[in-house]
Amino acid sequence: METTAIIWAALSAIESVWIVAATIFVILQRRSAQATLAWIFALAFLPVVGIVLYLFLGPRRYEKRKRRRARAQAYVGALHVSDTDGKHPRSDQALHLMRLCENAGGPAARPRTASGEVFLDGKSKYEALSTAIAEAEHHIHCEYYIWEPDNIGTRLRDQLCERARAGVEVRVLVDGFGSSKAHDRFWQSLRDCGGDVRRFNAFTLTNWRPRMANFRTHRKIVVVDGRVGFTGGMNVSDVHTSEFSGDDAWRDTHLRLEGPAVKGLQMVFFEDWFYATDASPDGPEYLRGTEDLPEGNREVQVVASGPDENLDAIHKLFFSSIAGAHERVFLTTPYFVPDEPIFDALNTAALRGADVKILVPAAGDVPLVAAAARTYYPELLNNGVRIFEYGPPVLHSKTLVVDDDLAIVGTANTDNRSFRLNFEVVVANYDAEICDGLATAFDDDLECATEVTLEALQEAPFLRRFIASTARLFSPVL
């Protein structure tokens, strides 16, 4: 009996030391209060599960990697970036957002002009991308989170091979986690043709870190000859096009730019390429001045953010634009786990009388995130926000329309992972025409969606509501 008591006392002492140590460790990370409490809870009371989750999802900033990113940022910042100022936007709100992005987003976020096109399906996007690649004369730069070795992925790789054989410089940067299915043997044919393929934070036997799961590039960027650029929600995968997925093709949005604004995408690519390779192309043929490119008719900014810096430029853009909305806020996102500022901004905009609508998937591909999202619905609904669940098929589009001042197309979801844990990029369009175009697309999407009601949420089974409430506890770390 005495031995048992001693064992229990020892275990209790060990547990107490562990809780104190874990609490001090997490507090010293200086995260948000919500994230700090979530990690303390997980590590203290679910130590085995908490440690595993923390290894994969916890650490966000590593000094060695921060120094390497700083070198990349310094290199890109020293490149030729002079531009004539873009046209002045038509409202004070747009001007304030533009200034915010430039101050928080760095050189890439300098206001520039562009002309371009919005794609609402994979077929049109891949056709436009194929055309741009076929016309390449000097270089093609591609960066993707997911590049599948499927029909679309193989077709695009083979086209890059053809251009590389023709003497065009081809550089491809894919995420080491998201594009893990495309093994080195898949890329060998492109390398044999002279193309350069690199992985962003690759997982290897000699360089494997579980916590690197957070240091991912979620960006989708293509730049051709410094003249044409693409970005948006679509990866390289058959799931995005009806050609191979039929009626199950994902609903997504992508953007093609042409003009001085392409320089912003090029600079973001250069920074990531430098980080991955410790070198980067240089010269006017890569970063063309405005004198070499036709003026566009749209005022835009390329805004990038990632876990290596503390400004969270994309988050600030979303918060400020929603908080300043007067007439409408149309938000489309596959993952909706807002932090407190975004949540309050949406509620406040609706209470002021703005038409606030949120479009999310009916069935998310990450059950824990989808469950957590539903716990935010009741308060939003009570304050006048309208929420719609889209599909099938899967909704993967990431857009935001605010009044006639701003239309955002990019790679960022409305969750903590996109705002603070992934490398993301969006294009902020200060143009009434594109605002109205994306608003019309939003209304068309509502025809394939079902509106969420408080009654339906309250009638959900107890177990589903309990799981959702539990999932919300982990919202800051999802």
**Residue 461: cis peptide before it, omega within 30 degrees of 0:** no
Residue 313 neighbours by CB under 8 Å, 6+ apart: 101, 104, 105, 106, 109, 303, 304, 305
3 state DSSP class of 337: strand
Q: Which of 338, 374, 360 is nearest to 459 (CA)?
A: 374
DSSP conformation class of 107: G
Q: Do residues 404 and 330 lie in contact, with contact meaning Cβ atoms separated by under 8 Å? A: no
pLDDT band at 100 (very low <50, low <70, confident <90, very high): very high
Q: What is the pLDDT of residue 83?
A: 54
- Please give the helix or strand (H or E) that residue 9 lies within, else none: helix 2-27
d(Cα 7, Cα 11) in Å, to the nearest integer? 6
Residue 421, judged by CB atoms within 10 A of its CB (0-12, 13-18, 19+), counts as: buried
Q: What is the pLDDT of residue 75?
A: 58
Query: At residue 119, what are phi and psi to the nearest 5 degrees?
Result: -110, 130
Q: Which of 330, 334, 321, 320 is nearest to 369 (CA)?
A: 334
- The pTM is what? 0.84
Q: What is the pLDDT of residue 444?
A: 98
pLDDT surpassing 60 at residue 64:
no
Q: What is the pLDDT of residues 388-420, one digit of tens each?
A: 999 899 999 999 999 998 999 999 999 988 998
Q: Helix crossing, 151-165 with 184-192: angle to 10°? A: 20
Q: What is the pLDDT of residue 429?
A: 96
- Please give the helix or strand (H or E) that residue 191 lies within, else none: helix 184-192
Q: Do residues 72 and 277 lie in contact, with contact meaning Cβ atoms separated by under 8 Å? A: no
Mean pLDDT score of the chain, rounded to an integer? 85
Q: What is the pLDDT of residues 301-317, one digit of tens each?
A: 999 998 877 689 999 99
Q: Which two tokens stand for residue 143?
A: 């960066």
Residue 362, judged by CB atoms within 10 A of its CB (0-12, 13-18, 19+), counts as: middle
pLDDT band at 248 (very low <50, low <70, confident <90, very high): very high
Q: What is the pLDDT of residues 333-391, one digit of tens each?
A: 999 999 999 999 999 999 999 999 999 999 766 667 777 788 899 999 999 999 999 98
pLDDT surpassing 60 at residue 67:
no
Alpha helices for 89-150 (secondary structure H) = 92-105, 122-134
Provide the annotated active-site residues: 218, 220, 225, 396, 398, 403
- Please give the helix or strand (H or E) that residue 84 lies within, else none: none
